[in-house]
Amino acid sequence: MARLTVLDLLRKKTDNEKIVMVTAYDYTMARLVDTAGVDMVLVGDSLGMVVQGHDSTLPVTLDDILYHTRAVGRGLSRAHLTADMPFLSYQVSPEDALRAAGRLLKESGAQSVKLEGGERTAPAIARIVEAGIPVVGHVGLTPQSVHAMGGFKVQGKGSEGDRVLRDALAVQEAGAFCVVLEGLPAKLAARITAELQIPTIGIGAGPSCDGQVLVCNDLLGLDLSFKPRFVKRYAELQHTVVGAVQAYAAEVRGGAFPDADHSFGMRKRAVSSEPDEDRIVKLY
Ligand code: KIV
């Protein structure tokens, strides 16, 4: 099955079809979300927080994104693959930005890249797009500016809304094919979505965006201590995982695992039509 292209995603706005995006950081999760039928998979720099355990996305490097994007790409057969551009890979100059974006396409198999920022990032977006690399914009709450924003805070309240709209328009003007709207009042996100020709993908931006994105760890409930208002948990896998590992530990300690069913015997196969129990199908 072919991967969804930029044209397929743009058509969804025209056809009034929502775009479903989710993050993934490894091959196993990529296979699962692709099987579930999402349209776009983002290797977000959120990996700095949910995979690496940092308290912001700032320490993530281009090599980190390259490593995780390669792994995710091996697990996708239908979803479009977007790689996030980490902090300082595009802010210094449009030339730096193009070099980093080019590496993401050449070395990881990403089909598009995502950059945070509006008017100030527009020259970098234009330079990347000019080279034939599709760009996803990201305005509103931009986590790489956490210190400038004074924390992870909803943006665009009151008269600040006009600035966020200008940012979204600048991103579109620079050539981005869609834009993430993060942490915005629902009314403002609806206004931006109506004004833009390109699709908007919301996170914490209400129901009117052309698509939605969530961090896979959040929607799966892998960390139940993290529950901001915009996250809806569709599972509570933290309980499932801890319960399963506790059951395993109890069986190992009590001698119930491994049992005969999970062990190999001494007898050789007499005829080749007998089941080959010695064959280990997948070895890590
Ligand atoms: O890094 C990330 O995962 C993101 C999404 C939450 C939009 O930027």
pLDDT tens column, 107-151: 999 999 999 999 999 999 999 999 999 999 999 999 999 999 999
User: Is 283 contained in some domain?
Assistant: no
User: Is 275 contained in some domain?
Assistant: no
What is this structure's pTM? 0.95
* CATH number of the domain bearing residue 125: 3.20.20.60
Is the separation of the CB atoms in 87 and 60 below 8 Å? yes
* 3 state DSSP class of 261: helix
Q: Which domain holds residue 79?
A: 6-238
pLDDT at 199: 98
**Number of domains the chain is built from:** 1
pLDDT at 2: 93
Asked if 251 is an active-site residue, the reply is no
Beta partners for residue 181, in sequence order:
139, 202
User: Is 267 contained in some domain?
Assistant: no
User: Is 138 contained in some domain?
Assistant: yes
How far is it, in rounded angstroms, from Cα 157 to Cα 163? 10
If you ran DSSP here, which 8-state letter would residue 269 be given? Answer: P
pLDDT at 283: 56
Position in ligand 1 atom list of the atom nearest CA 57 = 1
pLDDT at 284: 59
User: Is 249 contained in some domain?
Assistant: no
How far is it, in rounded angstroms, from Cα 42 to Cα 22? 6
Beta partners for residue 112, in sequence order:
82
User: Is 52 contained in some domain?
Assistant: yes
How far is it, in rounded angstroms, from Cα 18 to Cα 283? 39
User: Is 226 contained in some domain?
Assistant: yes
Q: Residue with the nearest Cα to atom 5 of ligand 1?
A: 44
Position in ligand 1 atom list of the atom nearest CA 46 = 1
Q: What is the pLDDT of residues 179-217, one digit of tens each?
A: 999 999 999 999 999 999 999 999 999 999 999 999 999
pLDDT at 282: 65
Q: Which residues line ligand 1 (CB under 6 A)?
A: 23, 42, 44-46, 84, 180, 182, 203, 213, 215
User: Is 86 contained in some domain?
Assistant: yes
Catalytic entry in 182, 236, 274, 277? 182
Low-confidence ranges of the chain (pLDDT < 50): none
Cα(15) to centroid of ligand 1, in Å? 25
